[in-house]
């Protein structure tokens, strides 16, 4: 490699260091010299003048010329590209790990490195980054497997995510360290779609210690076919959710529909807005007035009544705060709203009587009572009472499986600290089932709820618990502990969606699951320091490792990458009414231009 200054750019000359043919040792000759502009963060912009060599005795391999090019240049820039590896890597990391928008990356490259690049160029290099990450991940499967075996094995967490107007993305994760091992698009969660992904995982990384999955039939069948002897465990969160839905859905849906049909929330919000107007106009200091309610005189009720009523409505509309943020059936927001309405109705009736002693009638109080009287219905009351036993059973199951609302959230992985804890949960669950079975014989009431719980406990008894894997008999700290939930993967999917909204500034991530899909999770492994060290040897080595990917492998993966996009739905920026209106106006315009022979 030699340097020269041409115009305002540096010219760097490259040539193969090999002077003899690798086949016959014949002296190589010059095929041609080509000049290319290369844009790099490390070397800035320069002219690469490369001399290509060939062997006159072995010039062709099929229809292609056997060229001896410069390995030094190949380490800097990919074939047929002007942008160096380091630019593509910077863009990819900024976009997919730091979740920056294209305009931010454009500005950063221009200011910090003097690199001008279009948004289309950023998109293209982002795509290439993802493709190279996939290629390197596959090439490094032996290194990844060695790291897995050194740790003592891996737990395979499998799950799939889907958004509106998108294909599903299936992900197989190593639950021990959080690395994504396998990621691919699937059309559904049928076993036929999942089996190839599991076969790929098995062939690359060997048998897992155990598998954690949801309760889908497709997942269950695929696992039984590919990993027949491997412990197959279901997520405790999904297990509880499934039981809760079966027990509570019917009655919960009735309560929810009743409250929605009677527009309870809408009426409360309307009355709340009217009270806000009155409070502002009256110059009330809401907090001072509310604090005084505790020890105010009866005569003062006529003055602070707007704040009193507004406080009640505020409390009513905060019903969703009673939940744990885990969703139905762990949270029952409409049941909370109904129960608050019942409690508030008693309070407001007492306030109306107190105000009557002062010979006052306050219209918002009467309006609030009328709203709450809509809920004073025998049918919904009966439904709520019948729901109580199901709620009790569900709460008991949560207690046995240690799903305490104070410690469990959607990102909690739920580990067991020791085998004794596993045995204790197993014992308590078995005792609970036996008690229910005996109760079913003695008490024929509430048969439905009891049978649902007993059926689930019998069907999934061997799918719930797994003791820790002892790697070193003398060192329990090295035990491999399987998570009791699949939340590590659920958390990954939520993070993916949140980050893509940040990157694109919109809420439609279905497009991105189609656009980048199965390639994104693989790239996210770069956020793990140990993964980077295992696969790349360090962040600074990523350009060199990318350059070791054969161009033929890159092109083949590139074809797969773009093939994944072919099925995506193209979304209009207009809503439905605008689309049909524009079509109608466009049709009228065309008809005005026609000769009228074929138009009605």
Confidence at residue 168, expressed as pLDDT on a 0 to 100 scale: 83
351: left (phi over 0), alpha (psi -120 to 50) or beta: alpha
Confidence at residue 8, expressed as pLDDT on a 0 to 100 scale: 59
User: What is the bridge-based pairing of β-strands 29-40 and 2-6?
Assistant: unpaired
Q: Which residue has the higher pLDDT, 324 or 96?
A: 96
Does 317 have pLDDT greater than 70?
Answer: yes
pLDDT in tens, 567-587: 544 444 445 556 556 666 766
Q: Does residue 313 lie within any of the structural domains?
A: yes
Confidence at residue 445, expressed as pLDDT on a 0 to 100 scale: 80
Q: What is the DSSP secondary-structure string of 183-204? A: EEEESSS-HHHHHHHHHHHHHH
DSSP label at 480? B
Spatial contact of 476 and 483, defined as CB atoms under 8 Å apart: no
Cite the beta strand spans of 141-190 per DSSP E: 155-161, 168-174, 180-186
Helix (H) / strand (E) element for 211: namely strand 210-213
Q: Which residue has the higher pLDDT, 58 or 136?
A: 136
Q: Does residue 22 lie within any of the structural domains?
A: yes
Inter-CA distances, 307 with 273, 276, 298, 469, Å: 12, 9, 15, 60
**Alpha-carbon span 151 to 159, nearest angstrom:** 23
DSSP label at 83? B
Q: Does residue 290 lie within any of the structural domains?
A: yes
Q: Which residue has the higher pLDDT, 416 or 154?
A: 154
Sorting pLDDT into bands at 50, 70 and 90, what band is 600? low
Angle, vertex CA 82, rays to CA 78 and CA 86, nearest 5: 60
How far from the centroid of its chain's Cα atoms is residue 332's Cα? 23
Question: What's the mean pLDDT when you consider all of the chain?
Answer: 85
Q: Give the residue from 44, 62, 77 where a domain finishes.
A: 77
Query: In angstroms, what is the C-alpha Rg of the chain?
Result: 33
27's tokens: 């002296």
**Alpha-carbon span 109 to 91, nearest angstrom:** 9
Confidence at residue 590, expressed as pLDDT on a 0 to 100 scale: 62
Q: Which residue has the higher pLDDT, 536 or 295?
A: 536
Q: Does residue 112 lie within any of the structural domains?
A: no
Sorting pLDDT into bands at 50, 70 and 90, what band is 563? confident
Confidence at residue 6, expressed as pLDDT on a 0 to 100 scale: 46
**Alpha-carbon span 538 to 411, nearest angstrom:** 28
User: What is the bridge-based pairing of β-strands 60-61 and 64-65?
Assistant: antiparallel
Q: Mean pLDDT over residues 27-49, rounded? A: 92
Helix axes 333-357, 264-281, angle to 10 degrees: 50
How far from the centroid of its chain's Cα atoms is residue 518's Cα? 12
**Alpha-carbon span 545 to 538, nearest angstrom:** 10
Q: Does residue 5 lie within any of the structural domains?
A: yes
Residue ranges making up the domain that contains 356: 243-385
Can you give 348-362 as a three-state secondary structure string? HHHHHHHHHHCCCCC
* 577 burial level (CB within 10 Å; 0-12, 13-18, 19+): exposed
Q: Does residue 278 lie within any of the structural domains?
A: yes
- Which SS3 state, helix, strand or coil, does residue 599 take? coil
Neighbour-count burial for 341-366, b at 16+ CB within 10 Å, e otherwise? beebbeebeebbeebeeeeeebebbe
Sorting pLDDT into bands at 50, 70 and 90, what band is 261? very high
226's tokens: 């590919």
Q: Does residue 141 lie within any of the structural domains?
A: no
Confidence at residue 285, expressed as pLDDT on a 0 to 100 scale: 80
- Phi and psi at 114, nearest 5°, equal 65, 25
Q: Does residue 334 lie within any of the structural domains?
A: yes
Spatial contact of 489 and 171, defined as CB atoms under 8 Å apart: yes
Q: How many helices (H) and strands (E) does the chain have?
A: 23, 11
Confidence at residue 532, expressed as pLDDT on a 0 to 100 scale: 97
pTM of the model: 0.79
Does 413 have pLDDT greater than 70?
Answer: no
152: left (phi over 0), alpha (psi -120 to 50) or beta: left
Confidence at residue 256, expressed as pLDDT on a 0 to 100 scale: 97
Confidence at residue 302, expressed as pLDDT on a 0 to 100 scale: 77
Confidence at residue 407, expressed as pLDDT on a 0 to 100 scale: 47
pLDDT in tens, 337-394: 999 999 999 988 888 888 888 788 889 999 999 999 999 999 999 999 999 999 999 9
Q: Mean pLDDT over residues 280-308, rounded? A: 77
Sorting pLDDT into bands at 50, 70 and 90, what band is 209? very high
Does 562 have pLDDT greater than 60?
Answer: yes
Q: How many domains does the chain have?
A: 2
**Alpha-carbon span 42 to 5, nearest angstrom:** 17
Confidence at residue 406, expressed as pLDDT on a 0 to 100 scale: 45
Confidence at residue 323, expressed as pLDDT on a 0 to 100 scale: 81
**Alpha-carbon span 61 to 78, nearest angstrom:** 22
Spatial contact of 115 and 39, defined as CB atoms under 8 Å apart: yes
**Strongest mean pLDDT among 19-28, 267-276, 435-444, 498-507:** 267-276
245's tokens: 């839905």
Confidence at residue 527, expressed as pLDDT on a 0 to 100 scale: 93
Q: Give the residue from 36, 53, 77 where a domain finishes.
A: 77
Q: Give the residue from 335, 365, 385 where a domain finishes.
A: 385
Q: Which residue has the higher pLDDT, 495 or 175?
A: 175
304's tokens: 């602070």
The percent of residues above 90 in pLDDT, for the chain, comes to 53
Confidence at residue 519, expressed as pLDDT on a 0 to 100 scale: 92
């Amino acid at each position: 490699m030699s340097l020269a200054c041409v115009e305002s750019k540096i010219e760097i000359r490259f040539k193969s260091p090999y002077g003899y043919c690798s086949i016959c040792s014949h002296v190589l000759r010059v095929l041609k010299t080509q000049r290319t502009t290369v844009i790099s963060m490390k070397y800035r912009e320069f002219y690469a003048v490369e001399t290509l060599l060939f062997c006159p005795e072995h010039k062709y391999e099929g229809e292609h010329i056997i060229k001896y090019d410069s390995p030094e240049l190949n380490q800097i820039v990919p074939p047929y590209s002007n942008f160096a590896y380091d630019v593509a890597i910077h863009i990819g990391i900024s976009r997919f790990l730091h979740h920056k928008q294209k305009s931010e990356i454009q500005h950063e490259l221009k200011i910090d490195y003097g690199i001008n690049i279009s948004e289309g160029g950023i998109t293209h290099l982002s795509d290439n980054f993802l493709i190279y990450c996939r290629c390197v991940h596959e090439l490094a499967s032996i290194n990844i497997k060695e790291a897995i075996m050194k740790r003592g094995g891996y737990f395979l967490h499998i799950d799939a995510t889907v958004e509106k107007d998108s294909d599903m993305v299936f992900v197989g994760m190593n639950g021990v360290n959080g690395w994504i091992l396998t990621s691919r698009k699937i059309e559904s969660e049928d076993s036929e779609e999942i089996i190839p992904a599991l076969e790929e995982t098995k062939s690359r990384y060997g048998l897992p210690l155990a598998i954690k999955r949801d309760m889908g039939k497709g997942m269950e069948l695929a696992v039984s076919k590919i990993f027949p002897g491997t412990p197959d465990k279901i997520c405790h969160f999904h297990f509880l959710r499934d039981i809760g839905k079966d027990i509570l859905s019917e009655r919960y849906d009735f309560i929810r529909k009743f409250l929605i049909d009677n527009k309870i929330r809408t009426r409360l919000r309307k009355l709340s807005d009217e009270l806000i107007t009155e409070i502002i106009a009256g110059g009330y200091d809401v907090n001072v007035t509310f604090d005084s309610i505790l020890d105010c005189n009866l005569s003062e009720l006529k003055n602070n009544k707007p704040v009193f009523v507004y406080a009640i409505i505020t409390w009513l509309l905060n019903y969703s705060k009673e939940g744990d943020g885990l969703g139905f059936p762990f949270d029952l927001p409409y049941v909370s709203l109904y129960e608050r309405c019942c409690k508030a109705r008693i309070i407001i009736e007492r306030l109306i009587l107190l105000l009557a002693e002062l010979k006052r009638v306050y219209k918002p109080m009467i309006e609030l009572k009328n709203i709450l009287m809509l809920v004073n219905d025998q049918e919904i009351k009966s439904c709520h009472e019948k729901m109580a036993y199901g709620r009790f059973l569900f709460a008991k199951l949560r207690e046995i499986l240690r799903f305490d609302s104070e410690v469990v959230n959607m990102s909690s992985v739920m580990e067991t600290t020791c085998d004794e804890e596993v045995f204790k949960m197993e014992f308590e669950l078995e005792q609970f089932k036996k008690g229910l079975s005996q109760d079913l014989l003695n008490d024929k009431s509430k048969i439905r709820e009891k049978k649902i719980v007993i059926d689930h406990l019998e069907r999934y008894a061997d799918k719930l618990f797994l003791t820790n894997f002892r790697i070193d008999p003398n060192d329990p700290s090295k035990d491999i502990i399987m998570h009791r939930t699949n939340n590590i993967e659920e958390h990954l999917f939520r993070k993916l969606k949140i980050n893509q909204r940040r990157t694109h500034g919109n809420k439609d991530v279905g497009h991105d699951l189609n656009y980048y899909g199965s390639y994104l999770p693989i790239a996210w492994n770069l956020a793990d320091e140990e993964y980077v060290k295992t696969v790349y040897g360090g962040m600074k080595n990523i350009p060199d490792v990318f350059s070791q990917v054969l161009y033929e492998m890159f092109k083949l993966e590139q074809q797969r990458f773009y093939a994944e996009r072919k099925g995506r739905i193209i979304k209009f920026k207009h809503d439905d009414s605008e689309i049909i209106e524009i079509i109608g106006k466009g049709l009228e315009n065309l008809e005005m231009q026609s000769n009228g022979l074929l138009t009605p």
